[in-house]
Structure 1
Amino acid sequence: MRKYLIAILIIATAILSSCFRQYNNDDTYRKGWTLAWEDDFDEFSNESVWSKTPRDKQHSFRYMSDSESLYKLQDGNLVLRGMQDPEGNEKLPFITGGIYTQAFKANETKRLEIRARINPTYGVTPYISLFPNNSSENIVIDLIEQYDTDEFIYQSVTSQYTTTEGMPDNPPSSALVGVNPIEYHIYGVEKYPDSVVFYVDGTRTKKYPRIPTKIPGQFPFNDLDFDLYIGLRLDKDTDHAGLPVDFYIDWVRFYEPNSVNLTTDEN
């Protein structure tokens, strides 16, 4: 059964890779959107748009550090690094780099794209995620989570409805997308009042809609301000031999609708 599932994934990856190559030279999927802001990381200023992610008890931020060794500019990329703590701290054996900035406002229709590539290793999860600003609720929009050396990524939403209420499948809250993480890909998301729509290299991969339901917390994504977080998540089982590990961010772009009619995803 496992071999059968792997075979299906390989075929799906090949098909999607072909689609991704096609869309790399075709930006018609951006029709209706106007570029509002971009950062090509020709320089990096912690005090302007981006902030370094502080250490926190939340899993994604457990080993965050502001050490300059974790942030570098290389060939037009911002490179975020994960490595062993040079001071040999047993309680915090790793340090990782991460950045965040303001992303989506409540009731705002907006598109976000990030071009990035990954240097994968075991026990490391690069992520590009949207977290609510000033909220401790378990609400997340994940443009990408990539585990170990997997040649696929997860795009998903998390909410009270999908976790506490036990409803991750109605509607499906996540999608598995085959990619070669070593290569650059454009990971995108559009946020509407009634849906969240994901893309990879211009290919639409998933839509999570607002649905009629009495179960609480099904679609909180239009009601909150969200910040964009980019970083690396390590855990106690991370392979020390595979470190340091780097996450290459080529650019980040935000788009706004160029028409007042672009307020919902109709498909």
Structure 2
Amino acid sequence: MKLFPVFLFLLLFTSCIQKKPYTVENLYIFIQNADRSDQEWELVWEDDFNAAELDTQKWTKIVPNNADWGKHMSDDPACYSFKNGCIYLNGIQNTDTISDPRPYLTGGIYTKGKFAFQYGKIEICAKLENARGAWPAMWMLAEQKKYGNYPRNGEIDIMEHLNYDTKIYQTTHSYYTLELGQKDNPPHYGTAEIDTAAFNVFGLAWYPDRLEFLLNGENTFTYPRVADVDSTQWPYDQPFYILIDQQLGGSWVGEITPEDLPVSMIVDWVKVYQ
């Protein structure tokens, strides 16, 4: 009889372990368990930005790159500020063109090499300031490049906003859409109206057979996995990491108006569920 409490403890302990909605690979990649489709979402990762500095265990500042979105990215402290429990990712005029000749600098963060997940739900609460040439984005890229180089692993754009628009774009890109030109079979993007004067919750519910884009908890656009098409239509069966950045300028958003700067994307929190 004395063994019963020990047995009960072990049973409960084992049960708690089994209730985790994910398995972890390489200490930071959260793979959702296969039996989660009809289960309640459970919070598995978050950042509320309540500290006075960036949590570098979770995020890295994005440095410049040659992509249209990345030419002004910077780790300059002026591009990052922390106020009222939020991180401000700033787009600014560069005041030191001797050290860095670029006319503009922008702040952005990503979780590459620190957190990635496969299937689940992500929500990002943020307020988008407006400026001519402002291009804030929340998006995801493949952590491990299962299918080779971009765009074969796909891109998931949870939210992109342009200039003074009152709408956002929610988009998928892949070899299928970009190289094969299959942008309507199925439609690869949707738009949704927003109030840029308020905080909104931008999200994605990611399943093995579909991507459900969200705004303030409501489904706005669904991109399904399609049978009997080229296999590059669905590279979304691998872990992805998170990028959040206040971009400036580019062929899509257009020219920057310096008088409109600074401009910020104000992020309150990020939450991932599985």
- In the superposition, the TM-score normalised over structure 1's length comes to 0.79
1:88 corresponding residue in structure 2 = 97
* Residues 107-129 of structure 1: CA deviation (Å, up to 9, x unaligned): x3211000000111111100001
Contact 1:124/1:148 (CA < 8 Å) preserved in 2?
A: yes
2:40 corresponding residue in structure 1 = 32
Say whether residues 1:117 and 2:135 are aligned partners. no
Indicate which of 57, 62, 72 corresponds to 1:63.
Answer: 72
Contact 2:116/2:143 (CA < 8 Å) preserved in 1?
A: no
Answer with 1 or 2: which has the greater Rg: 2
Runs of 4+ aligned residues of structure 1 deviating over 4 Å after TM superposition are none
Indicate which of 204, 208, 223 corresponds to 1:189.
Answer: 204
Q: Distance in 2 between matches of 1:91 and 1:166?
A: 37
Q: CA deviation at 1:181?
A: 1.8
Q: Distance in 1 between matches of 2:67 and 2:263?
A: 21
Identity, in percent, stands at 29
Say whether residues 1:233 and 2:247 are aligned partners. yes
2:260 corresponding residue in structure 1 = 242
Q: Distance in 1 between matches of 2:105 and 2:183?
A: 32
Indicate which of 183, 189, 194 corresponds to 1:174.
Answer: 189
Gaps of 5+ in 1: 1-29, 257-267
2:14 corresponding residue in structure 1 = none
Say whether residues 1:137 and 2:155 are aligned partners. no
1:11 corresponding residue in structure 2 = none
SS, match of residue 69 in structure 2: helix
Contact 1:59/1:233 (CA < 8 Å) preserved in 2?
A: no
Q: CA deviation at 1:134?
A: 5.3
* Residues 99-155 of structure 1: CA deviation (Å, up to 9, x unaligned): 0015543xx321100000011111110000101225441221011000000000001
After TM superposition, the structure 1 stretch with the greater mean CA deviation from structure 2, 186-195 or 31-40, is: 31-40
SS, match of residue 113 in structure 1: strand
Q: CA deviation at 1:46?
A: 4.5
Q: Distance in 2 between matches of 1:186 and 1:150?
A: 17
Contact 2:139/2:156 (CA < 8 Å) preserved in 1?
A: yes
- In the superposition, the TM-score normalised over structure 2's length comes to 0.77
Q: Distance in 1 between matches of 2:107 and 2:191?
A: 25
Matched AA of 1:126: P
2:58 corresponding residue in structure 1 = 49
2:34 corresponding residue in structure 1 = none
Gaps of 5+ in 2: 1-37
2:7 corresponding residue in structure 1 = none
Matched AA of 2:92: M
Q: CA deviation at 1:31?
A: 7.4
Number of aligned residue pairs: give it. Answer: 224
Say whether residues 1:220 and 2:235 are aligned partners. yes
Q: Distance in 2 between matches of 1:254 and 1:134?
A: 19
SS, match of residue 50 in structure 2: coil
Matched AA of 2:67: Q
Contact 1:165/1:215 (CA < 8 Å) preserved in 2?
A: no
1:259 corresponding residue in structure 2 = none
* Residues 194-233 of structure 1: CA deviation (Å, up to 9, x unaligned): 11111100111111111013424101011x3211000022
Say whether residues 1:99 and 2:109 are aligned partners. yes
